Amino acid sequence: MSRDLQLEADLTFDIDVPAGEGHPAAHVHATVTAEGNHVRVHSDDILSLVGQPSRAAVRSMAAQLARLGLVVDVSGPDGLIVSLGAVDPSPAHRLVTRSRHMRLGSWTRAAAAARARLRPSSRATRLRGPGLPPGTPWPPLPAMAPHPYVASTTHDPAGGGHPRLYLCDTSDPLAPWPVGVFELSPDGVTIGSGEGVGLQLAGIDDLQAEIVRTDDDEYVLVARSTRMLSTVGGQQLPEQILRTGARIELGTWRMSYVRDEYADHGRPYGGRIGGELGRQRTQPIPENRRGPSF
C-alpha cells in the first residue's frame, strides 16, 4: 500500500570528486527539487553523482519509491533519463527494465547512460539509495570456504575473561550489605582471616579456602579449613570448579563468581558440539602453563 507523502525541497549543491583509478578529478553540479510526491534530480554528470548501482539495486529502489507513492525523475544535461517509483511504464519499458516501476525518458539517453555505466573508467558509487544492501559478487564461489572451520583449544594462557568475585558480609541481617569486587589473577588467591592471605575476611578461619587456576584454564575453589564449611551452590566439596553465577559461602560471607563468557567455556573445543551427552576430546595442556591440575 502506498503512503500519502508530501514533499517540498529546493536544493543546489556542488561536489568535488577526487581523481581515482581510471578517471580524472571532476566538479559535479546538481539540483534536487520536490513538490508533493514528485522529486526531480538533475546533474551535469549524473554517473559521478550516483555512481554505478546494479540494475537489481535500481529496481529495488524503484519498488521502494512506488510503495511510498513517490516519483523520482533523474535527468542529465540532455534531458530526462529515467523516472522511478509510482509511474506507469509502457510494456516496452517494462520489458527492457524488467520493472513495473521504471519509465525511460528517452531510448537514446538511456542507451547512452547504459554505455557509460559499462565503461571501465566510470566512477564508483557516490550516493546509494536508502536501505539498499551492496550487490552480491559473482560468481559466489570464492566466498565459499574450501574446508569447514574446526574449533580448537579454548585455553587462555593469560587467564583472561576478567575473573572476579562480588562479595558481601551478611553477619548483620538488618544492615545494608555493601558489595565489593575482588579481581582474580591467573595465580589464584588464598582466602582467610589470617595474615598473609590474598583476600582477608573477618570471621572465618585463618586459611579458609583457596581459588586456584588449573592447567586446563579453570578456576577452582579448594576448601582448606576443617573447622568451617566452604560451600559452592550449597554443596561442601573438597574442590569445586567455578562457573559464572556460582554462589560461594564462607561463614557469613557470600560471594558470586563471574568470568566473561568467551573464557568461561566449560567445555573444550568450542562448547557442547556433540550435544549434552556428546563425548568430546580432552584439550592438551598449554605449553606455557605449569601448576596444579585436578
- State the Cα–Cα distance between residues 183 and 188, nearest whole angstrom: 10
84-96 pLDDT per residue, tens = 898 988 888 888 8
Per the domain annotation, does 14 fall within a domain? yes
Q: Pick the last residue of a domain from 110, 137, 164.
A: 137
pLDDT the model gives residue 154: 59
Per the domain annotation, does 148 fall within a domain? no
Q: Which 8-state DSSP code applies to residue 215?
A: T
User: Residue 102 in contact with residue 82, Cβ under 8 Å?
Assistant: yes
For the record, the C-alpha cell of 92 comes out as 516496452
Average pLDDT over every residue of 73-80: 84
Q: 121 in helix, strand or coil?
A: coil
pLDDT the model gives residue 62: 86
User: Measuring CA to CA, which residue among 184, 249, 197, 258 is closest to residue 223?
Assistant: 249
Average pLDDT over every residue of 12-21: 71
* Structural domain span for residue 270: 155-294
Pair type for strands 189-192 and 180-183: unpaired
Statement to judge: residues 265 and 166 lie in one domain: yes
User: Under the phi-then-psi rule, with left for phi > 0, alpha for psi from -120 to 50, and beta for the rest, what region is 269?
Assistant: left
Statement to judge: residues 23 and 101 lie in one domain: yes
Average pLDDT over every residue of 252-271: 77
Pair type for strands 38-43 and 71-76: parallel
| Selection from 7-16, 179-188, 264-273 with the highest mean pLDDT | 179-188
pLDDT the model gives residue 178: 80
Statement to judge: residues 217 and 276 lie in one domain: yes
Statement to judge: residues 129 and 193 lie in one domain: no
pLDDT the model gives residue 116: 52
137-175 pLDDT per residue, tens = 555 555 555 555 455 555 666 678 889 999 999 888 777
174-196 pLDDT per residue, tens = 777 788 999 999 889 999 999 99
